[in-house]
Every structure is written in structure tokens, then in C-alpha cells.
Amino acid sequence: MTQPILIKDTNVVNEGIITNADVLIANGRIQKIGIALHQWDAKVISGNGKYLFPGVIDGQVHFRDPGLTHKADLYTESKAAIAGGVTSFIDMPNTKPNVLTLKLWENKYRMAAQKSLANFGFFMGVNADNIEDILQMDTSQFLAVSDDGLYFTKKGNLLADNPQVMEKLFAHCQCIIAVHAEKEALITANEAVYKLQYGNDIPFKFHPQIRNEQACIEATRDFIALATKYNARLHILHLTTASEAQLFDKTIPLTDKNITTEVCVQHLWFSEKDYDRLGAFIKWNPSIKSEADRKGLLQALTDNHIDLVTTDHAPHTLEEKSGNYFTALSGAPMVQHSLNIMLEFFKQGIISLEKIAEKMCHNPAILYQIENRGFIREGYYADLVLVDMNREWMVSKDNILYKCGWSPLEGTVFQTKVTHTLVNGNLVYEEGHFNEDRKGKALVKHNT
Ligand SMILES: NC(=O)N[C@@H](CC(=O)O)C(=O)O
């Protein structure tokens, strides 16, 4: 039995409102939300002046375990996540080997149960190599299948570039199909044009012209058409252009949507103007695009064209990020700072706290049908984040927890700070200190 925890006198941000309340936690769950609660044997945490959010659920991360653990692993990255208020994550299949079989997928759950401090779920990988096997399986057991990142190991194997594979998958898959929507053929043609002029040393600022809007929107349009044809459940990962966002219906409630999408914090935070300063550090796929796209994506998020905020946390070592346009790997770490970024937008008057909770906590739980998480409700798991809304700090090497040890945000001053993070009712993070006794749990999919 662990000691109960009583968070006193805090501002609870949940389901569209902010209320002043106490929250009592025992046996891993939220026992009671109310006024002037008492519990004689509880550890009391003052929430006075602070804001309590449901733990963030990051719907897209690359924690690199197994096989790529020189740059990240389930322990290091889950720890970084928790320091940033992320209590659950769903990890992508482009680990080594790629997660293309049931055995490898189950193995990831076994590993995470030993190593991860946060709760975990795993995408099942799907591409041209394993499509027949996938369709023999009960796909409803997966939170989702995804092709994300798999093209790194075998170029040209993106779903968007394999019409026959796509048709089969969309016709038969019984779970969410989460896709990386970029047309590789267009990108390769653009690369060739810039290569003629610059050789291998194409300046990074041309990344959005190479991995351009057209490559994204054409792929996104095709995926939507296919999902509509088969009435399939499609989720487009990491949207990067304002025009794509308009393809998604903002009027349908999330529970009724068959076609959903997300945006990553980096595409809300950085834009084209940052390439000169940060170069390869902000080379992502899909690319960081124009300032108009950045603003358009923020607008599309607040007006509900976009359903989720994720990170696509994709760490690489500094060595892997050095080199020329072609050799510097795409992706960067983000999971420790995503809530901070969104709270900075709140400070700028762009988004409300309630909307942040909706897009980062409630909606991932609804979209991936995650049982008893994502909300501050009696009986739900106590995955909670307490935030001091007025504490400045600067991202620097000595507070970055990623195994790769760097962030494109170094030098950024945030005005808010996570002070406490609870996972399954355990106080795993408190003012810079970790309690690593308890590991995270597998996310469970509910049946409705
Ligand atoms: N997003 C990235 O730029 N990189 C991802 C792969 C991917 O999502 O394409 C990675 O795994 O490094």
C-alpha cells in the first residue's frame, strides 16, 4: 500500500472548465475531487496558485528501444517525458528491428514494463513487407498501426507511395491507421533540382522547398479519399501546412470522427526563419514550413480542425545531426518541453488552458480509446501534472534529460514549470527529483 496523496487547493483544468478543488489520490486512482478534503495519513501537496492538468498523453514518440539505444531508450526518454508532464506515450515502430511482427510488438511491451517510468503503448508497424501478415491478424488488438519512420530503413516503402498496399490495408484494417503523409517521389524530384545547384551541401533552409507543401497535401488528400472510400479509421500524423488542416472537419465531435489529425509542438513553435540559426537541429520530416503555416496550424488547432498535439519526439546524437543535408538525420527531441511550449502559447493569449488539456490529455485518450486516463475524474488513474504558471527557467544542457543530451530549444526561457508529476497515483517527479520505484503500465484499449 502506498501512502495516499492529497493535493490541496489547486486549480483543476479539466473538461472545459477550471475549478478550485482538492484532489485525493489512493491506490493508484483519483478517489475524490472536492472542497476541504481531509485524509489523516495522506502526503499533502499544496497546489495553491498552481494548475493541475491530467497527465499529458503523447500520441507519437520515437524512444528508439530496442536497437537504437545509443541515442535514447525507454528509461531515459520516459524520465524526460515525466519531467515535462507527459505521463503516457505511444511509441513508433521504426526501432531496430522494425516492429513488423506480433512477436516484436509484444516484446516492446515486455521491455517497457521493465524500463519505462511512464505508461506506454506501441504502434504496430505496417508497410509493403508485412501487409499480408497484418491482415491475417486481429488488428482490433492494436491501438493503431503505423508506417511512420519505416521508410528510413527501406526507401520508397511509405504507404503513401504504395497504392496497392494502401488499398488492402484501408479495406480490412480494424483499428486506426496512423500515417506519415508525404509523397516520396515528389521529394526525390525536388532533391535532384537542389542537388544540381548545391551538390550535397544544400542549405537546410531549403528543406521546406524539398519536403514541400505539395508533397504533404497530395499524400494527405489521397489518404483521405481512400479512408472515405472504405470508411476506414484514418489518423494523419504530424500535419505541417495550414492548407492540409482545412481538409479536416472541425464540426464533428471527436468521438464520431473517422478521419483525424494532429500537429507537433515544433511545427507550432518553429518556422522557416529559424533554419539559418538552427540548421539541421530543426530538420524534421515532414519539414518545418513557413510562418504562415505555423500561424495557420495554431489557428486550426484552436478551431478544432486539428485534434491532438504530439511531439514526434525523435532524438538523434549530435554526431548524427552533423553533416550535410543528406547525411544529417531528420528529427529532434521534444517530449520534455511540449507542455511548456503550449503553456507559452497560453501566456501569449493564443490558446486557453482548457484547450491545451483537451488537445494534449483528453483527446489522445478519446482518439486511441485509452481506458480510464486522460481526464481528472474520480475512479480514473491518477496521472496528474501540477504546474507553477509563474516560474521562469531556461532550457540548457544541465536540465535536458534526453539521452542524446541536446535540444533545439537550448537557450529558450519558459515562464512555466512542472513541479510534480504523478503516474498511476505515484509521485514520480517532485521539484527536480525522481522516485523510480514504480514503473509505468501498458495503456489498455477500451471496447466501445
Ligand atoms: N520525424 C522525423 O524527422 N524523424 C523520425 C521518423 C519520422 O517520423 O519520419 C525519426 O524516427 O527520426
The verdict on 342 and 407 lying in the same domain is no
Of all protein residues, the one whose alpha carbon is nearest to atom 9 of ligand 1 is 149
The verdict on 112 and 235 lying in the same domain is yes
Of all protein residues, the one whose alpha carbon is nearest to atom 2 of ligand 1 is 331
Long-range contacts of 377-381 (CB under 8 A, 24+ apart): 377/14, 377/30, 377/33, 378/30, 378/31, 378/32, 378/33, 379/29, 379/30, 380/29, 380/30, 381/28, 381/29, 381/30, 381/119, 381/424, 381/425
Q: How far is CA 361 from CA 72, 189, 374, 443, in A?
A: 24, 39, 5, 14
- Pocket residue to mutate for ligand 1, from 153, 210, 284, most atoms within 8 A of Cβ: 284
The verdict on 284 and 328 lying in the same domain is yes
DSSP string covering 408-434: TTTTPEES-EEEEEEETTEEEEETTEE
439: DSSP letter: P
Tens digit of each residue's pLDDT (9 = 90 or more) over 35-49: 999 999 999 999 999
Q: How many domains does the chain have?
A: 2
Indicate the residue among 345, 368, 391 that finishes a domain. Answer: 368
- Taking phi first (over 0 means left), then psi (-120 to 50 degrees means alpha), and beta for anything else, what does residue 98 get? beta
397 located within any domain = yes
Indicate the residue among 344, 368, 392 that finishes a domain. Answer: 368
The verdict on 85 and 11 lying in the same domain is no
Average pLDDT, rounded, for the chain? 96
Burial of 393 (0-12, 13-18, 19+ CB in 10 A): middle
- The cell for 120 is 506506454
The verdict on 419 and 271 lying in the same domain is no
Quote the strand ranges of 104-193, DSSP E: 119-122, 124-125, 144-146, 176-179
Q: Residue 82, Cα to own-chain centre: how many angstroms?
A: 13
Distance 174 CA to ligand 1 centre (A): 25
150: domain CATH number is: 3.20.20.140
398: domain CATH number is: 2.30.40.10
The verdict on 199 and 321 lying in the same domain is yes
116 located within any domain = yes
Tens digit of each residue's pLDDT (9 = 90 or more) over 285-313: 999 999 999 999 999 999 999 999 999 99
ipTM of this complex > 0.95?
A: yes
Q: Which atom of ligand 1 is nearest to the CA of 94?
A: 11
The verdict on 10 and 65 lying in the same domain is no
Indicate the residue among 368, 388, 418 that finishes a domain. Answer: 368
The verdict on 174 and 247 lying in the same domain is yes
Indicate if the pLDDT at residue 60 is higher than 70. yes
Of all protein residues, the one whose alpha carbon is nearest to atom 4 of ligand 1 is 331
Q: How far is CA 287 from CA 71, 210, 268, 322, 341, in A?
A: 21, 9, 12, 17, 19
322 located within any domain = yes
Distance 315 CA to ligand 1 centre (A): 9
Domain that holds residue 27: 5-52+380-434
Distance 239 CA to ligand 1 centre (A): 13
Count the Cβ atoms, other than its own, within 10 Å of residue 128. 19
Are 89 and 78 spatial neighbours (Cβ–Cβ below 8 Å)? Answer: yes
Tell me the mean pLDDT in the region 155-182: 88
Tell me the mean pLDDT in the region 395-406: 98
φ, ψ (nearest 5 deg) of residue 197: -85, -40
Q: Which atom of ligand 1 is nearest to the CA of 151?
A: 9
The verdict on 324 and 410 lying in the same domain is no
439 located within any domain = no
Indicate if the pLDDT at residue 402 is higher than 90. yes
446 located within any domain = no
pLDDT-derived band at 156, boundaries 50, 70, 90:
low
Distance 185 CA to ligand 1 centre (A): 18
Tens digit of each residue's pLDDT (9 = 90 or more) over 81-106: 999 999 999 999 999 999 999 999 99
| pLDDT recorded at residue 246 | 98
Q: How far is CA 417 from CA 152, 220, 339, 393, in A?
A: 35, 36, 9, 8
Q: What percent of the chain has pLDDT over 70?
A: 98
Distance 240 CA to ligand 1 centre (A): 14
186 located within any domain = yes
| pLDDT recorded at residue 2 | 83
Of all protein residues, the one whose alpha carbon is nearest to atom 6 of ligand 1 is 149
The verdict on 48 and 60 lying in the same domain is no
Distance 114 CA to ligand 1 centre (A): 25
Indicate if the pLDDT at residue 335 is higher than 70. yes
Indicate if the pLDDT at residue 153 is higher than 60. no
| pLDDT recorded at residue 155 | 59
Q: Which residues contact 38 (CB under 8 A, 6 or more apart)?
A: 6
Tell me the mean pLDDT in the region 248-259: 97
| pLDDT recorded at residue 159 | 78
Of all protein residues, the one whose alpha carbon is nearest to atom 8 of ligand 1 is 149
- The cell for 430 is 517532485
147 located within any domain = yes
Query: Higher-confidence residue: 55 or 129?
Result: 55
- Within 6 A (CB) of ligand 1 lie 62, 94, 148-149, 180, 284-285, 312, 314, 330-331
Distance 49 CA to ligand 1 centre (A): 38
- Give the distance between the most distant pair of CA atoms in the chain: 73
The verdict on 176 and 249 lying in the same domain is yes
Taken as a whole, the chain contains a residue count of 448
Q: Which residue has the cell 497546489?
A: 47
254 located within any domain = yes
Q: What pTM value is reported for the model? A: 0.98
The verdict on 403 and 256 lying in the same domain is no
Q: Which residues contact 280 (CB under 8 A, 6 or more apart)?
A: 204, 321, 322, 323, 328
